[in-house]
């Protein structure tokens, strides 16, 4: 569903910096993939390019065979709303709106009927265990609950691809496990395709596959077999081999 071919990103004019140096990656329908690597390795740059937040210097990004970077600004805005779901470290929720209003925001922007929005928000909120929070303001709920709201907003329009950037970065261990369990559940039960950047090996252990980026290059990848603890240990070993765990955290 996502095909990335020889993706490069260069910043600067006189002092050029090559953030990505020819990334190739195929993401199949229903995969849950983690992207890991040292700080400054190009992880977030890669995610921003897939999200059309930034433009590649060269190479291709194809989502279901189409290149979103060939669209005009209006079409790109519609593409983000309709085909992508976003989950951020900082939640990116609007504090002046209620939980319900935050969740339905993508549908509101698309001019969806109120009756449809009411039905869909009830369904997704119940599924994510936040049905009792719909009338609360964001300031009235916990960080873990806020991230559940962010996941609900990302999923309400059933996007082709969910992009998560350090989704557990501002959460305690219990909330992190809850949110990652939720993403894993959405992946397994609803076949949501998820691409997640993370520094956290525990969060990464919920993925099916981890790709490691270092110095702008995809250097290695590993797949989970069945045992999550064994996968966690394997991730720790890979991080130590690539950069040294002490430098990573």
Q: What tens digit of pLDDT does each residue of 108-166 get?
A: 888 889 999 999 999 999 888 899 999 999 999 999 899 999 999 999 988 889 999 99
- Banded pLDDT at 209 (limits 50, 70, 90): very high
- The values of phi and psi at residue 121, to 5°, are -65, -35
CB atoms within 10 A of CB 174: 9
Q: What tens digit of pLDDT does each residue of 33-45 get?
A: 999 999 889 999 9
- Banded pLDDT at 248 (limits 50, 70, 90): very low
Q: pLDDT over 90 for what percent of the chain?
A: 65
Q: What's the pLDDT at 140?
A: 93
**Rounded distance, CA 199 to CA 37, Å?**
7
What does the mean pLDDT of the chain come to? 91
CA atoms within 13 A on the CB side of 149: 30
Q: What's the pLDDT at 137?
A: 94
Q: What tens digit of pLDDT does each residue of 63-82 get?
A: 989 999 999 988 888 888 88
**Rounded distance, CA 70 to CA 30, Å?**
25
Whether 176 and 100 have beta carbons less than 8 Å apart is answered as no
Q: What's the pLDDT at 247?
A: 42
Q: What tens digit of pLDDT does each residue of 218-230 get?
A: 999 999 998 999 9
Q: What tens digit of pLDDT does each residue of 174-185 get?
A: 889 999 999 998
> What is the CATH code of the structural domain delimited by 2-248?
3.40.50.300
The SS3 of residue 231 is: helix
Q: Is the pLDDT of residue 249 over 60?
A: no
**Rounded distance, CA 197 to CA 159, Å?**
18
Q: What tens digit of pLDDT does each residue of 91-101 get?
A: 889 998 999 99
Q: Is the pLDDT of residue 232 over 90?
A: yes
């Amino acid at each position: 569903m996502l095909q990335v071919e020889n993706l490069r990103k260069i910043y600067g004019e006189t002092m050029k910096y090559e953030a990505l140096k020819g990334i190739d990656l195929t993401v199949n329908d229903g995969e849950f993939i983690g992207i890991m690597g040292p700080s400054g390795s190009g992880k977030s740059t890669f995610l921003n390019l897939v999200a059309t937040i930034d433009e590649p210097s060269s190479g291709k990004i194809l989502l279901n065979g189409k290149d979103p970077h060939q669209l005009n600004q209006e079409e790109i805005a519609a593409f983000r709303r309709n085909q992508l779901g976003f989950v951020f470290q900082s939640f990116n929720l609007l504090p002046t709106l209620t939980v319900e209003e935050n969740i339905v925001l993508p549908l509101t922007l698309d001019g969806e009927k109120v009756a449809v929005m009411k039905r869909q928000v009830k369904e997704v909120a119940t599924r994510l265990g936040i049905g009792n929070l719909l009338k609360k303001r964001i300031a009235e709920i916990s960080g873990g609950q806020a991230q559940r709201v962010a996941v609900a907003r990302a999923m309400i329009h059933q996007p082709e691809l969910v992009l998560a950037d350090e989704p557990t970065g501002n959460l305690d261990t219990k909330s992190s496990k809850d949110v990652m369990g939720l993403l894993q559940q959405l992946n397994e039960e609803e076949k949501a395709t998820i691409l997640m950047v993370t520094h956290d090996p525990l969060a990464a252990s919920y993925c099916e596959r981890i790709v490691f980026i270092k110095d702008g290059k995809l250097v290695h990848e590993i797949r989970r077999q069945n045992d999550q603890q064994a996968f966690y240990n394997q991730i720790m070993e890979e991080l130590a081999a690539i950069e040294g765990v002490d430098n990573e955290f």
